[in-house]
Structure 1
């Protein structure tokens, strides 16, 4: 909608981040059946612009758990109804922590992936996050590239 766009008619990055955080929180809350808070968000890859009038779909899923935390992958895609074109627009990894009634960190269920498709999704997310972290570490070691 216009309130979420910049002067070029494209979605504001901050709005996209907000949508991603909400999606991640909903996914984490469904998984843990607890109130959750965002603990961290990895860097975000903005892959393509979201144009005014596009239909945006934000999806998130838990791919790993700790004692009180959940690791989620959140993806954003945009569809142009006029051309039936869909494209990936943003992606990031989040960590959420489950809270008890006193707002203290509390245990989360163990992640189970009973189907092959769930195991594949989990493995892909683990591999991608590992690769991204290696790239960031290499970038930090070598310094930014200058043009």
Structure 2
């Protein structure tokens, strides 16, 4: 998922003392959609996509915090386009906000046709992870640093998108 004109290779993945960067958390995963993860229509099972999103988000959270992380929540999810049998699911995740012991991660999923290179957005969600110490108790995470304009723009974009998504869900339930 492209959040603007950035190249992840252009973002420096530095980690300052007590701070972690958005770029350091960046994670990309790919999954070839095989029959075991499809429904009777040859499309990705929602549960498989959610599982991949959870893994990709957890890796981003762990890269950022340098701690084991567990899933605390996954925000509202809409499957806006299918991933078809034989296509590649491309997942991108990065930390965009932190609490004392928690890390908020944006996960974008898109489908890629490996023969044509054509891509389409399939879903986005925001997940919260809690960092754990060696005893399994919540432990503080670094502050999020966005040293480049690209990182700051991604953080702001994710924050605004999450805010809008939560407002939409609240209105639906309202």
- TM bracket (short chain): over 0.9
1:7-64 Cα offsets, whole Å, 9 max, x none, are 0000000000000000000000000000000000001121100000001111110000
1:13 corresponds in structure 2 to: 46
Per-residue deviation at 1:138?
1.3
Q: Give distance in 2, aligned partners of 1:74 and 1:49.
A: 16
Q: Could you tell me which residue of structure 2 aligns to residue 144 of structure 1?
A: none
Q: How does 1:127-142 map to 2 (within 5 A)?
A: 127-141=160-174
Output the CA distance in 2 between the equivalents of 1:130 and 1:10.
30
Q: Please list, as runs of the form range in 1=range in 2, the aligned pairs for 1:24-103 lying within 5 A after superposition.
A: 24-103=57-136
Match of 1:110 in 2: 143
Which one has more relative contact order, counting CA pairs under 8 Å at least 6 apart? 2
| SS of the residue 1:48 aligns to | coil
TM-score, scaled to structure 2:
0.80
Query: Which runs of no fewer than 5 residues in structure 2 stay unpaired?
Result: 1-33
The 2-side partners of 1:23 and 1:81 are apart by 21
Name the SS for the 1:111 alignment partner.
Answer: strand
After TM superposition, give the deviation of residue 83 of structure 1 in Å. Answer: 2.6
Q: Aligned-residue CA RMSD in angstroms? A: 0.7
1:107 Cα deviation after fit: 0.3
Distance between the aligned counterparts of 1:42 and 1:93, measured in 2?
5
Q: Secondary structure of the residue that 2:137 maps to in structure 1? A: coil
Task: Tell me the TM-score normalized by structure 1.
Answer: 0.94
